[in-house]
Amino acid sequence: MSRESRPVYVPGIPHRHRADEAAAEASASAVLRNRYGLHMRPAKQVVELANTFPCEISLLVDGRDADAKSILGVIGLAAECGEEVVVRARGDGADEAARRLADVLTNLPELHGEPEGTGCEEDEQDEGEDGRE
């Protein structure tokens, strides 16, 4: 195999082959409703699910993007409750990957037994209630 025909692999940069040029692409969006945002525990859920798909998957939040298969990348997005997360997938299984990750992001469970779906609004109301008169 000649040097020109071998793919070059660079850590941290996804590699592409000519056959990938026609690969399927899909995107889906989700609004985070978990009052604590995309912290370590839900980020782990997202990364574990993303790693079950063979396609490339990225998350975009307010102009920032990250590899959905990297825990540090996902946490680094610092996505908060109420923010829109766009899931972009490219390759085999892109449609299902984008759809399932968007569903998980929309329905992240709350922590410590709090009811699901409490949403961001309660946090905003709680900020003004400090018990002082």
Q: Write out the catalytic residue numbers.
A: 39
Inter-axis angle of helices 94-106 and 40-50, nearest 10: 160
SS3 40: helix
Beta bridge partners, 29, equal 86
**Does the CA dihedral 80-57-88-116 come out positive or negative?**
negative
Residue type, 102: A
Beta bridge partners, 87, equal 28, 59
